[in-house]
Amino acid sequence: MTTDTAGAPPSVVLIDANHAARLVVEQLLADEGVTVHAYARGGEAIRAMDGGVTADLVLVSRHLPDMEAVEVLRRLRALPGRAVLPVILITGDGDDVRRMHALEGGFTDVLLRDRPDHLLPHLRTLLQRHGVQQRARILLVEDSPTMASTTAEALAPLAVEVVAVGDAAAALQRLDAQPFDLVIIDVVLPGPLSGLGLLSALRSRRDDLAELPVLAYSGYDEQARRLEMLRRGANDYLSKPVDADELRARVGNLVRYWRLLQQVRRQYAELARVAVTDALTGLYNRHMLDDLGSRYVHRAWRTGEPLTVMMLDLDHFKAINDQYGHDRGDDVLRAAAQRLKEQVRPDDLLVRFGGEEFALLLPRLGAADAPAQAERLRAALAVRPLAGLPVTVSVGACVWEPPPERARQAEGFASEALRQLLKRADEALYRAKHRGRDRAEIESVADLRP
């Protein structure tokens, strides 16, 4: 069974007899994308809500022509499904004692009429919660069709998609097939895996599903069972029969937690990408060379396979900047980076070393093949213009072929070996420049000592 309630913008009921003040708040709400149902009298608003007008939040003025705000609150709480609806009192009285009485009387919060901007934090929290919930997909693992239907109906006001399955095996298949924001698990399930077993299977995974929020529920409200579910990694626990308002509140909190975690992960991944990426060319930068380069050296030493390090420098690049400007020079660098990317293998490491200089690490490329690869790279840049300009490149390469007898090296050897290989390649590049540019110079080395 799948339920999918169409999303709609959040809705606010505004009850205020002051026409001018009501217009100010209405505009504030409308600017935030909220549907506003405005009324001048409390009885009118109560009848509308009893007749089907929906609301995620109610704003009510203290004094109304037909009743006081506290009476609106009392009658509102008596309506089906409105017992926990947030109700904010709007008043011109800033007396702290009156404010405390209002909060003790059941109002969610109290806002001063002369500071409508203080409504924005409440409003934006509502919008955030509403938007997150509307996009959420929930997996309900419940073997009772009646209970599954009841739970899905209770979640319908959140405008979430609920996918229901009857056992743990089907749940695991669904989780592998599509993304979910929350799993609701009945503790007692048929089949080899109980709800506790399903929870353990999730928490033992090595992917993102290991941290997917889980709400466990059961008709057996035993402390030992509840504690064991929590110890195994359940984020929350409810007892059947489930109160619909409490279920929605807990589900909303868990979905927001998951979405926030995903957002933090995305931001961290983007920061990590930016930290190792050259902004101009999109290639890796020196930081990634320092990090991955040592691993390339360590692997070559461990396997005995050759490793070639190349340094490439665009010829007469300063003249391009001087004659055509730095913007054109940047275009040339981007084009050169793209041309080089087309010539390297998937496991080669290509980085922008700095300025117009690039570094390239080529695992398993030995002395027999390095000259031909260096020539291919040189020719690839010279064969046609870069950003409309004829450009050549000089290449220096150092081929490292570890000796057959390789002793265990001290910690730090790989970093020092990489430094030496880059230095030898740079010296070869200098020779290529000195001998006329637009050429490649190759040297080989077997013994690298820290």
Longest dimension (CA), the chain: 97
Per-residue tokens: 246 = 């409490």
pTM for this prediction: 0.55
Mapped onto helix, strand or coil, the DSSP state of residue 41 is: coil
Q: Torsion-angle region of residue 282: left (phi > 0), alpha (psi -120 to 50) or beta? A: left
Helix (H) or strand (E) holding 354: strand 349-354
Of 68, 222, 305, 356, catalytic: 356
Supply the pLDDT for residue 1. Answer: 44
H helix runs in 220-277, sequence order: 223-231, 244-276
Mapped onto helix, strand or coil, the DSSP state of residue 193 is: coil
Whether residue 356 lies in the annotated active site = yes
Supply the pLDDT for residue 5. Answer: 39
Of 180, 224, 229, residue with least CA distance to 203: 229
pLDDT, tens digit (0-9, with 9 covering 90-100), for 316-337: 999 999 999 999 999 999 999 9
CB neighbour list of residue 384: distance below 8 Å, 6 or more residues apart: none
Using omega within 30 degrees of 0 as the cis cutoff, is the peptide bond preceding 241 cis?
yes
CA 419, chain centre distance (Å) = 36
Q: Please measure the distance between the N-terminal and C-terminal CA atoms of the chain and give it in whole angstroms.
A: 66
Of 126, 163, 155, residue with least CA distance to 250: 155
Per-residue tokens: 157 = 């006001």
Of 61, 71, 24, 56, residue with least CA distance to 40: 61
Helix (H) or strand (E) holding 139: strand 137-141
Per-residue tokens: 208 = 């993102």
DSSP E strand stretches across 364-436: 393-400
Between CA 323 and CA 390 the distance in angstroms is: 13
Q: Torsion-angle region of residue 180: left (phi > 0), alpha (psi -120 to 50) or beta? A: beta
Beta carbons of 175 and 209 less than 8 angstroms apart:
yes
| Amino acid identity, position 111 | L
Neighbours of 373 (CB within 10 A): 22
Mapped onto helix, strand or coil, the DSSP state of residue 236 is: strand
Between CA 438 and CA 179 the distance in angstroms is: 52
Supply the pLDDT for residue 54. Answer: 82
Give the residue ranges of the chain where pLDDT is below 70: 1-8, 84, 116-120, 122-135, 159, 221, 406-411, 449-450
Beta carbons of 60 and 16 less than 8 angstroms apart:
yes
Q: Running DSSP on this structure, what letter comes out for residue 407?
A: P
Beta carbons of 218 and 177 less than 8 angstroms apart:
no
Angle between helices 145-155 and 244-276 (to 10 degrees): 70
